[in-house]
Amino acid sequence: MIGAKQLLIILIGASLFLGGLWFFTREDNNDIGIGPFDPGLEVYKDIYNKIVAFGDVDYNEDQLALIKSDIAAAEMADQLEVEEVTALNIILNSSLMKSLNLSFKNLFSTSCYESSKFTNIVSLLKKQNIVNKNTEAENNIDKYNNVRAFKLLETKVATWMNMEYSGTYIEEIERRFALRGVSSCYGCRRLKVELLSELKDLEKMDIRYKDQVKRNKYYCSVFEGNKHYYDLLVNNGYCP
C-alpha cells in the first residue's frame, strides 16, 4: 500500500506539473512572450521583406506609399514597438535610395537628355540624399548637372556663331564633354557632333574672311550669317 508520505509526494508533484502547465499556456496582457507564436514579429518580417524587395527594383511611388501605410497601420494597432517602427523607417530610407539609384542607372543613357520621368527621379534623388547621404547618389546628381551644363552649350554656340572664331570654343566643348557622365548620354553625343559641325563652319568663315582681306576682294553675301565678320566689312566700307 502507498503510505501517507508517498501519497503526499505524488500530490505535490502533480500540483507542480499542473501549475507549470497553466503558467506556460495562460493568456494574459502582461505575458512575458513565452509561446510558439508572436503576431508582432510576423508583421515586422512581412513589412521588412516588402521594404527589401522595394529596393531591388525601379522606383515605384505607389509601392512606397503602400509600405508607409502598412507601417503606420501596424503602429496604430500596437503590432509594432516604437523601436521596430524606427528601424523599419531607417531601412526604408536606405531601400528608397537604392531604388532611386537603380532607376537613374536604367534611365540615364537613353533618357538623360529629355525625359520628365528622368527629371523626376533626379529630383527625388536630391531630396533623399539630404536625408541619407550616399556616394552613388552624389555621383549620379553630378552626372545630371554635367549633362545640363553641356546642353547649355547649344545656346552658347549660337552666340559664338556671331562672333570671331576661336579655338577655345572647341576646347570648351571637349572639356565639358569629358565631365562625368556626359559621354554616356546619347543626346549629348549627338549634340556634340552638331556643335562641332557648326563651329567648323565658323572656322571656314574665318579662314575665308582672312583670305579675302589678303586678296582685297570681298564677297559680302558669304558673311551675312555672321554679324561679326559682316559688320567688319560694312564698317570698313567693303559692303554696302
Is 80's pLDDT higher than 80? yes
* Residue 121: closest CA among 90, 152, 151, 144: 144
Q: For a pLDDT cut of 90, what percent of the chain falls above it?
A: 64
Query: Which pLDDT does position 143 carry in this prediction?
Result: 96
d(CA 36, CA 215): 101
Which residues neighbour 130 within 8 Å (Cβ) at sequence distance 6 or greater?
none
Query: Which pLDDT does position 3 carry in this prediction?
Result: 54
d(CA 156, CA 49): 50
* C-alpha pair distances (Å), 189 with each of 22, 112, 141, 167, 171: 77, 11, 19, 20, 16
136, burial (CB in 10 Å: exposed 0-12, middle 13-18, buried 19+): middle
DSSP code, position 162: T
* Mean pLDDT taken over the chain: 84
* C-alpha pair distances (Å), 15 with each of 7, 9, 181: 12, 10, 77
User: How far is C-alpha 84 from the chain's CA centre?
Assistant: 27
Length of the chain: 240
Query: Which pLDDT does position 39 carry in this prediction?
Result: 58
d(CA 51, CA 85): 13
What value does the mean pLDDT take over residues 161-167? 93
pTM for this prediction: 0.75
Residue range 3-41, pLDDT digits in tens: 544 543 444 444 434 434 433 443 443 343 333 445 568
Residue range 188-231, pLDDT digits in tens: 999 999 999 999 999 999 999 999 888 888 888 888 888 898 89
Query: Which pLDDT does position 40 carry in this prediction?
Result: 64
What value does the mean pLDDT take over residues 121-136? 94
Q: For a pLDDT cut of 70, what percent of the chain falls above it?
A: 83
Is 91's pLDDT higher than 60? yes
